[in-house]
Amino acid sequence: MDRYIYVRGARVHNLKNVNVAIPKNSLTIITGLSGSGKSSLALDTIYAEGQRRYLESLSTYARQFLGEMKKPDVESIEGLSPAIAIEQKTVSHNPRSTVGTVTEIHDYLRVLYARVGVPHCPSCGREVQKQSLDEIVEGVLKDYGEEDRIAIYAPVANEKKGEFKKELEALRKKGFVRVEIDGETYDLEEELKLDKNKRHTINLVVDRLRVDAENASRLADSIEMALHEGDGFVEVGLVDSEERKVFSENFACPDCGISLPEISPKIFSFNNPFGACPKCHGLGYTMEFSKDLVVDENLTVLKGAVKTMSNNRDSFNLKMIVRVIESLGD
């Protein structure tokens, strides 16, 4: 029984008490002469009944936008599942009404994406994570073994031009001792002169310590200080090693500096300004014109080659263009 859709006594339009069994999970083609009842059987009977049954399972809110569908003139249809029909017309003329919004599935998907989604940088594709101080400390303790000597850095500048005199002086006054500039470590008491026309990467050396239970409190304090000085970013690596691990308490890419909004259902809604495409504003299409269609190269100017221009020979614009063409022709 479940392998077929059984239609009995179909009398929609020009169908004359038709009985048919259509196999499931296979491609079935209904053919016949024009007016033989192909559309009456497929669309007005099977699809209409499947859609009617499905709509009855929706909420009252959803049904108010679709209206009530009448039961097709058929004795019975068994083995029918929710149906989808593709026609050359649409049910709703509202561009913001989709299958997802009408059935309210879109609302559940937005919540799902907001809860399990993992943001990535739109520029470099790197995974962007937001972590609390405790999570960062736990991650450092997990990534590095006991007796490993690590350095904690606070990013100050990433591939930016400038001399950074004010920034370096401010760090020195705060009591910091060392800074890393373009991969080299310097003492902040030194007179540092940077080429303002070159790009520099500057990291403040917040602390150097061994990873062990006795330094757990110091580790947390140093990471917290690095997050404060690094605008929510902290880099951790073995001393004298170029490999670093970046942690952040913000939704921001540590490489590109691009900030992302915190994931919430509203950013997955095309009907919300926070989630709508800035180009189409959530409609899914944009209005544009084709310059190739404005001028019909097969017609003369007087016969209406320019569609946006009046064909009236007394038109001022038309007369002006004709005179320009005549002057160029001479």
Q: Give the mean model confidence (pLDDT) for residues 158-176.
A: 90
Question: CB neighbours of 98 closer than 8 A, spacing ≥ 6?
Answer: 106
Tokens of 196: 């303002």
Domain residue spans of the chain: 4-89, 133-248, 291-329
pLDDT of residue 92: 58
Could you give phi then psi for residue 21, rounded to 5 degrees? -120, 120
Q: Which CATH class is domain 133-248?
A: alpha beta
pLDDT averaged over every residue in the chain? 85
Confidence of residue 78 (pLDDT cuts 50, 70, 90): very high
The C-alpha atoms of residue 119 and residue 27 are separated, in whole angstroms, by 40
Percent of the chain with pLDDT over 90: 31
Tokens of 108: 């559940």
Could you give phi then psi for residue 207, rounded to 5 degrees? -165, 155
pLDDT of residue 42: 92
Higher pLDDT, 85 or 12: 12
pLDDT of residue 310: 62
Q: Does 282 score more than 70 pLDDT?
A: yes
Dihedral sign from CA coordinates of 27, 31, 34, 35? negative
pLDDT of residue 89: 54
Closest CA to 156 of 179, 140, 129, 173: 179
The C-alpha atoms of residue 163 and residue 200 are separated, in whole angstroms, by 9
| Fold adopted by 4-89 | Rossmann fold (3.40.50)
Higher pLDDT, 99 or 75: 75
Residue type, 124: C
Q: Give the mean model confidence (pLDDT) for residues 11-33.
A: 92
Q: Does 9 score more than 60 pLDDT?
A: yes
Q: Does 224 score more than 90 pLDDT?
A: yes
Percent of the chain with pLDDT over 70: 93
Give per-residue pLDDT as tens, 236-279: 999 988 888 888 888 777 777 677 888 889 988 888 888 888 88
Confidence of residue 95 (pLDDT cuts 50, 70, 90): confident
Judge if pTM exceeds 0.75.
no
pLDDT of residue 90: 54
pLDDT of residue 8: 94
pLDDT of residue 258: 76
Q: Poorest-confidence range of 7-11, 29-33, 59-63, 150-154? A: 59-63
Residue type, 94: N
Residue matched to tokens 């910091």: 176
